[in-house]
Structure 1
Amino acid sequence: MPRLKYTASPIALVQFAYPVAALAQRLHSLDVFRGLTIAFMILVNNPGSWKTTYAPLLHAEWHGWTVTDMVFPSFLWIVGVALTLSFARRVDEGQPRGRLLAHTCRRAALLFLLGLFLNGFPAYTLATLRIPGVLQRIAVCYLIAAAIYLYTGVRGRIAAVAVVFGLYWLLMHPGGYEKDTNFARHVDSLFLSGHMWSATKTWDPEGIVSTLPAIATALFGVLAGDLLRTGLDAARKTAWLYTSGCALLTAGLLWDLAMPINKNLWTNSYALFAAGFSTLVFAACYWFLDVLGWRRGTRPLALYGLNAIAVYVLSGLFARAMGMITLADTPLKAHVFAAFERFANPYNASLLYALLNVTVLYGAAWVMHRKGWYLRI
């Protein structure tokens, strides 16, 4: 079986400044998987009405999971894979690790600031500006995972996963995992008071303590990237991906018996389960797209993946614009949703509105690709 060549961005959701001629050398399955997560994120974040949204498109209220809860950890897992493939090439070329780490710090800082920009848009009230967020968590996890990758080997990376899991367990287990009594809530209330997600106010889903297992999520992606760089043939790599994915899923389900799978707390069991899910989905993408070459129909998802950070930011800005622009004192979003309700039941109308967002953002991704615009941070 022919050996494949892999290159990837140093950060899955941040750096997408590739000339078109270089795209053929990219790991197409990673672009498609990244695009799939972005497209699904837009779908679940932008229903016509939260009251009439199909249950699988909602997050679990507290313990448990839905497919929607797998989206964000997939982002982080992809970040880990991508940084491994990129940094390995750069280290092989002789680039100093210190320089790579400094570059990583700059990217992480800019990504964190971009997250703050998105949190505050359009009115920036510093007294209540939410500090945590999706981009902020990606920035922190990317930076720490990159540092661990640059200065440890495979055993060190596995040890790092064990350390963050152990530290999280020591911090969280005594207080339990219920919404009003867990340790993560107390830490968020102490250090982030007034600067948390408005829907929760007393804790944040991207809070301080829950970032620990999220780092492990990125490290599982790093380990998958290590596997892809081995000299194994493609069939064995795929087999190892499936095996490790099933093992992680099983481990997460078993740990759920003692530590509930919970996205809001990003529990260890959730990190394991979600990493297994991501590994299995990527294994399928890798086998069918990169090994067998079955790429027909995947271009839209690849375009999402090639400019993921721009699409993510635009989706947030577009959603807010639809709520801010008014016609006859009614938000534009309400007008569009009402138009869908004229010929569809409320649940389908809500889904159609979400699909409209996916379509509009795909149009933006297509235009940016045609123009050669790839957001660089």
Structure 2
Amino acid sequence: MSTPTPSSPPRLVSVDALRGFDMFWILGADALVLALGAMSLSPTLRALAGQLEHKDWAGFAFYDLIFPLFVFIVGVSTVFSLTSLVAREGRAAAVKRILRRTLLLLAFGIFYNGGLAHQWPDVRLVGVLQRIALAYAAAGLLFVFFKPRVLAAVTALLLVGYWALLTFIPIRDVQLDRAALVSHLPDAPRDAQGFPAEAQVRQLFDQTTARVTGRFEPGLNLTNHLDYVYLPGARYDHYYDPEGLLSTLPAIATCLLGIFAGLLLRRTDIGGHDKVVTLALAGVAALAAGWLWGIQFPIIKKLWTSSYVLVAGGWSLLLLAAFYYVIDVRQWRRWCQPFVWIGMNPITLYLLSTIVGFREAAARLVGGDISEWLDSNIAPGLGGIVVTLVSLGLVFVLAGFMHQRKIFLRV
């Protein structure tokens, strides 16, 4: 493996492949495993299908890794793209790129969530792309202006500070959960979704004088309460949002973990095998720290708790170590080309999954009578599996076409 120059390192295929592997699950592989689990009697397959669903609240499943893994990879890529840009054009150019990409991702995120199709306040301003944008902006600016030691201190401050805020700041003893509110407001009128009327909920919230600390239940924690009071527009969970205001802070730490991994991969004084070992050891250490911290500060994706950051970061480091070893150290690359195609255009394919709808397009090809015939004559549930397979095929065909034509739509 040749030694890259500091100013122009070779592109790491493993990073693109891991990004594509991550998006592969979002774009339909999850539905395939769920469909196989639903029609199978195999306990192993059913257990795998269970890993393709988010935990309702506390805990960690494979599908809870998909989002933070992407944020982590954004951090890895930031090191390579911004280091070269700063060397060529200076920090001002890097800041300009960061701000431009952030604004575009914010706009794409609002569009992905439905844009302005609804009247205010039914427009959702936060979401997956918005969180990626804000984490990238903060981590990118920190990377441009500060040394790794400062970045490490900021990461620790974000994780410990977020824990301290949720643990020690008193909040109203009101659980913003539909079932809990119905029991507190049994006679309140209901809205179209069955939630108690907003006026009664707000009155209960404002008039509650009892305070509690260190609570992490759904709707009974500082993060959810701040969203209820200060987050404008529509919220994914009615009263609060999993991509809300305060939980963006630890998401920045997730991106910074990716930056540390990128700094390691970019070094030329360490061999490939040593990088793999370092990534793997860091991953194991992060997992251990996250699970231990989770005893007091539960691992909760919807709050992006500090323990969740470490557990997700640990698995991200281990996956990066595996992909880097197989693809860039051992040079075994043929198997990963479809993932590379997706990984070179992830945001484009993510947006197209809503605008075009790969599954909807697949249903037009093999749905209807074809799907029903497969269910009736071969095996129940087979029609849905075939639709999902065709959907994934469309993703690979489009991604491969764009890669072959060198169409890379970068924000």
Both proteins in one fold, TM over 0.5: yes
Over residues 67-122 of structure 1, what are the superposed CA-to-partner deviations in whole Å (9 max), with x where a residue is unaligned?
111101110000000001121222233x2212311221111001110111111158
Over 3 Å counting, the alpha-carbon distance change for 1:309 and 1:336 in structure 2 is farther
Q: Cα offset for 1:326?
A: 11
Q: Cα offset for 1:2?
A: 4.0
1:228 is matched with which residue? Answer: 265
Query: Does structure 2 conserve the Cα–Cα contact (< 8 Å) formed by 1:33 and 1:285?
Result: yes
Q: Cα offset for 1:148?
A: 0.8
Over 3 Å counting, the alpha-carbon distance change for 1:160 and 1:334 in structure 2 is farther
- Alignment pair present for 1:136 and 2:139: no
Over 3 Å counting, the alpha-carbon distance change for 1:131 and 1:300 in structure 2 is same
How far apart are the structure 1 equivalents of 2:131 and 2:311?
A: 19
Q: Cα offset for 1:296?
A: 1.7
- Alignment pair present for 1:106 and 2:106: no
1:367 is matched with which residue? Answer: 401
- Alignment pair present for 1:59 and 2:54: yes
Over residues 285-310 of structure 1, what are the superposed CA-to-partner deviations in whole Å (9 max), with x where a residue is unaligned?
11111011011221101000011111
* Aligned-residue RMSD, C-alpha: 2.9
* One-letter code aligned to 1:42: L
| 1:268 corresponds to which of 306, 318, 322 | 306
Over 3 Å counting, the alpha-carbon distance change for 1:117 and 1:62 in structure 2 is same
Query: Does structure 2 conserve the Cα–Cα contact (< 8 Å) formed by 1:42 and 1:354?
Result: no
Task: Give 5+ residue unaligned stretches, structure 2.
Answer: 39-45, 168-212
Over 3 Å counting, the alpha-carbon distance change for 1:176 and 1:87 in structure 2 is same
How far apart are the structure 2 equivalents of 1:147 and 1:338?
A: 53
Q: Cα offset for 1:3?
A: 2.7
How far apart are the structure 2 equivalents of 1:339 and 1:182?
A: 50
Over 3 Å counting, the alpha-carbon distance change for 1:311 and 1:291 in structure 2 is same
| 1:188 corresponds to which of 227, 247, 258 | 227
Over 3 Å counting, the alpha-carbon distance change for 1:302 and 1:183 in structure 2 is same
| 1:120 corresponds to which of 103, 107, 114 | 114
How far apart are the structure 2 equivalents of 1:307 and 1:6?
A: 26
Task: Give 5+ residue unaligned stretches, structure 1.
Answer: 9-23
How far apart are the structure 1 equivalents of 2:336 and 2:6?
A: 18
| TM-score normalised per structure 2 | 0.78
Structure with bigger RCO (C-alpha 8 Å, 6+ apart): 1
2:161 is matched with which residue? Answer: 167
- Between stretches 215-224 and 95-104, larger displacement belongs to 95-104
Query: Does structure 1 conserve the Cα–Cα contact (< 8 Å) formed by 2:287 and 2:314?
Result: yes
* One-letter code aligned to 2:218: K
- Alignment pair present for 1:177 and 2:216: yes
Identity of aligned residues (%): 33
How far apart are the structure 1 equivalents of 2:363 and 2:342?
A: 29
Give runs of aligned pairs for residues 294-309 of structure 1, distance below 5 A: 294-309=332-347
1:28 is matched with which residue? Answer: 13
Aligned length: 353
Over residues 290-337 of structure 1, what are the superposed CA-to-partner deviations in whole Å (9 max), with x where a residue is unaligned?
0110112211010000111111111122349839x999xxxx977776
Over 3 Å counting, the alpha-carbon distance change for 1:345 and 1:79 in structure 2 is same
1:91 is matched with which residue? Answer: 86
Over 3 Å counting, the alpha-carbon distance change for 1:210 and 1:356 in structure 2 is farther
